[in-house]
Amino acid sequence: MSSSQGFRRPPTRRRLFVGAAAVAAGVAVGAWLLTSGAARHAHVSVAGRTEITARQLRAGRRGSTGGVSGHASVASVVLARENAAIDRLLARQPFISSGGSERREIALTFDDGPGPYTPQLLNQLARLHTPATFFEIGFMFRWFYPSAIRELRAGDAIGDHTETHPMMALLPSSAQQRQIVDQTQWVRRYGGPFPRLWRPPYGSYNATTLRILKRLRMLMVLWTVDTDDYLRPGVPAIVHRALAGARPGAIILMHDGGGNRAQTIAALAPIVHALRERGYRLVTIPQLILDDPPGRAQQLPKNLAGG
């Protein structure tokens, strides 16, 4: 199926349980991975200029010790502006699969964390001075919450990827509600704002899901490019898929959890360097929506799993 249209394979039995298997294998190694990492730089140089982005300002809400910094009021204004941009988009459509085409901005997104490979991914993002958006599974916070704290301190965006990663379209309304709301409580517990962004596991959603999201004022975030990195096709394949679908406003799907993510981490630098050589600026999903939202209403894909 075409990843450029945002379609995604239904889960196999093996993939349905990959998150639980990752926990069992990762808890033993996770502890020493969790605390590793470098601080993000406040300035990034792209195409010969220095930028201070909304991500860096959001990061000013927390210092290295978790205390409030002098940038708190500015960060609050940035967060409010991003939320207002999400509200404007929600007024005309319940989801996004790409941004607009006016600016050369692209968002890298990572699903299924936090997990044992997330600290290594965060280290690589720090070296590359690159923001990201993480769609995280609630129950994974039990073991890997320090990575979520790092993401918040770095100014990355955290979205909701449900509590236990089910096929949402197979669940009744009450269970869907719990899957969405329970995850948000983990994010709030560790200092994050209420997640305004939600991504469906396996691309599975239905009309009930959209009604719940509307009540919660949450935007469903799909993708422009699926790298299929969870299949571990090799670093060159992951890089090729990401770059082949690159265009202004693209949302690129990768994974930091759910299995061995060494190939994804190795592919990250070639992807980032190539995108910047093409003149793209890497941003979070909230900043993409603020800077360059879709110019016209997008159509929901018809054959996402359960859609």
DSSP readout, 9-51?
PPPPHHHHTHHHHHHHHHHHHHHHHHT---PPPS-EEETTEEE
User: Who's near 13: CB < 8 A, 6+ residues apart?
Assistant: none
Q: How far is Cα 20 from Cα 142, in angstroms, rounded to an integer?
A: 13
How far is it, in rounded angstroms, from Cα 223 to Cα 203? 10
Residue 226 backbone dihedrals phi, psi, to 5 degrees: -105, 115
**Among this protein's residues, is 43 annotated catalytic?**
no
- For 82-121, give one letter per residue: b (16+ CB within 10 A) or e: bbebbeebbeebbbbbbbbeeebbbbbbbbbbbbbbbbbb
Q: Are 81 and 291 in contact (CB under 8 A)?
A: no
Q: Is 255 a catalytic residue?
A: yes
The catalytically annotated residue of 71, 111, 112, 165 is: 111
Of the listed 160, 161, 255, 292, which one is catalytic?
255
Catalytic residues: 111, 255
